[in-house]
Every structure is written in structure tokens, then in C-alpha cells.
Amino acid sequence: MKLEFVLCKYLILARLATMEIKENYSLKKLNTFGIDAKTKYFATTDSVDEIRELLSSDLLKNNPKFILGGGSNILLTKDFDGTVLKVGLLGKELADEDDDNCLVKVGAGENWHQFVLWCLENDYAGVENLSLIPGNMGAAPMQNIGAYGVELKEVFHELETVFIDSGEEQKFTNADCNFAYRDSIFKNELKDKCIITSVTLKLQKKPVFNTSYGALEQELGKMGVKQLSIKAISDAVCSIRRSKLPDPAEIGNAGSFFKNPVISNSKLQELNSEFSDMPAYPVKEGFTKIPAGWLIEKAGWKGKRFNGYGVHENQALVLVNYPASGGANGSDIFELSETILKDIQEKFGVELEREVNVI
């Protein structure tokens, strides 16, 4: 290694000494798949000022960068030859309130489910259907998280960002975010362009319960709930999720690996003539969403297990990494997802799309 290079590297690291900068750092504990990939540099930032300082440093300017939240929606397929910046901004603040609603501003680094529990304690309604979703607040708007009949966009007020190239800060309203099913402007035009630093949600003080999702209604019935409450809905959602979805602390996974595809009604008719039991949910005039989990199960993949990885036995949408069997490389899981994509195309003529970000 040339002397100037070594000096330059240590000057960069010294200048950023107030921040934790690590080298050749394993990301195994920072992604819910539990993939043991390394990054050349790793930094955790606890404030907007730290993010801006880091963005203007040579460490970030001269290296590929990746912004990491809770690591619950990524598949690492190789070591990362650049800098991973973990957003650690914490804090919850009641920004405004009236008799019916309150605005709560939350740091992007707050854990999503811990935030839901905090809302239950404070009697703030709106996020109870989104209980137990892994990941951090900052990632929630990226893919407009959704479950059991509710999507984030229904409670979203605004968010704050820092632009990666300029360091400028900008606010985005609900309309600015272009929210759609598992989608937002941050997965499209603004992909890799900015870092979400805080999210403000508009929560209800007088709850409007949403139990329209069939499985949720059934679970509440099974639990014998007579008086609906946000706590009862959260308990029911947690119970369904625990029965269907693997706990990342035990079996590595990133939740749904694929999105549910939206197909034309003519395609639906064609599929229905062969598979009359296929569930379907109309989304807009002429188009219907069908469950990818059903297609993958029908194609015979549910519960398929290879050496250290496979398709989950209770929910075919979820690909898993079994640590007890030695675990898998991210590239093995990626290859499995490729094979499934091709198989579903061949068997049903339907194109699946990954929900998880492949790095």
C-alpha cells in the first residue's frame, strides 16, 4: 500500500473520529436475513448534523455508499466495497394535537414495532394493524409498509430528508411521496438520492378501527374479543403474524420476498378457468391483485428446503435462511428467487417482482 494512501485513509478516519467508523465490518447482525457479508467502512450516525458531516467527507464522496435502516428488507449477496451508513436517529416528539388527532414526529432510527407499542401505551390509534412489522421508522415510508388492511400512507403526515449529493434538507408531504402499494417516490425518482431522517404521523385520539381484513376478523373472533380496542387488534395481528411468519431472531428472513402481482381482468379470467380456488382482490377498474404466496405454493415451492435456506413452510412468500443448518449465502437465496420467478412465469404466465432490495 502506498504511504500517501495510508496517510490519506487515516486522516479521513481521524477527521470523523467523533463518529463510529469501523473497517471490514460484518453486517450479519444488521440484516434480518442474517447474511454474513462485510462492508469496507461502516458508520452510525445519531444526528442530522452527523449525517451531513459524513456526507461531505471523502469517506463517503469517494466510495460507493449504502444507507441502512433496520436491515429488514434487504438481501446482501456479496461484501460491500464502500461505506454503509446506518441511520440511528432516535426520539419521539408530540408535534401538535387537537381533540381528535395528534402529530407525532419520530426519528428514522426508531424501531417500528417499539413505536407501535408506545402508541398503544399512549392510546394513539392508527398503527395497531401494522404491529410486529420488522424494521425502523425511516424505512416505513420507502415501501409504504402495509398489513391487515392498513397502509402507512393512511397515517402519514410528512417526513424530513437530507439529500446525499448536496446535504440539503427537504420536507415531503403525503402527496409528495407518491405512495402506492409497497411503493413511493423513494423507490423510484429519488432512489438512493436522499436519507429519511424523521417521519411525522397523524394518529387518532378517537380510534377508527379497521377489521376489514378477513384473517384479522377471524382471529378477533377466535380470541373472543367483545369490545374492540387498539390493544385487541394489535394482539390479534401479532398472533396471526407469529403463526405464519418466521421470527428473524430464529430464522433469517425479510418478510415477503415478492410483491403480490396486479394482473388484468382478462388474465384473471384465464387463470380462473384453470384455478377456480385462486384468491383475488380487485384494486382498480380492470385490474386485480392476486397473492404471490398462493401462486408459489401452488407451484410446489412452499416448505422446500435446500442446505441452509428455502421457502418458509407457513407462508410461501417468505424466503428463509436457516442458521442452524449453517445458513446460506445471499447469492444462494437470490438464485432461488430467480428460479421461483421463472417457474411462476412458466406455470401461470404471471411476472413476479421482488419486494426485497438486493444489494
Interface contacts to ligand EPU, rule CB under 6 A: 147-148, 215, 244-245, 255-256, 259-260, 279, 291, 293-294, 297, 302, 315-317, 355
Of 45 and 260, which CB lies nearer to ligand EPU in the complex structure?
260
For residue 207, give Cα distances in angstroms to 125, 216, 229: 5, 17, 8
In the complex, which residue's CB is closest to ligand EPU? 255
Closest CA to 316 of 304, 330, 331: 304
Distance in Å, CB of 181 to ligand EPU, minimum: 7
Q: How far apart are the C-alpha atoms of 195 and 192, rounded to whole Å?
A: 8
Of 12 and 316, which CB lies nearer to ligand EPU in the complex structure?
316
Distance in Å, CB of 238 to ligand EPU, minimum: 12
Distance in Å, CB of 153 to ligand EPU, minimum: 14
For residue 194, give Cα distances in angstroms to 87, 115, 143, 327: 12, 23, 14, 33
Of 316 and 359, which CB lies nearer to ligand EPU in the complex structure?
316
Distance in Å, CB of 355 to ligand EPU, minimum: 5
Residue 355 is a catalytic residue: yes
Residue 256 is a catalytic residue: yes
Of 291 and 330, which CB lies nearer to ligand EPU in the complex structure?
291
Contacts of 199 (CB under 8 A, 6+ apart): 105, 106, 108, 137, 138, 140, 141, 156, 158, 159
Of 67 and 311, which CB lies nearer to ligand EPU in the complex structure?
311
Residue among 182, 198, 219, 241 flagged as catalytic = 182
Of 255 and 330, which CB lies nearer to ligand EPU in the complex structure?
255
Residue among 57, 131, 198, 256 flagged as catalytic = 256
Contacts of 65 (CB under 8 A, 6+ apart): 82, 83, 84, 85, 164
Distance in Å, CB of 250 to ligand EPU, minimum: 16
Distance in Å, CB of 73 to ligand EPU, minimum: 8
Residue 20 is a catalytic residue: no
> Which residues belong to the active site?
182, 256, 355
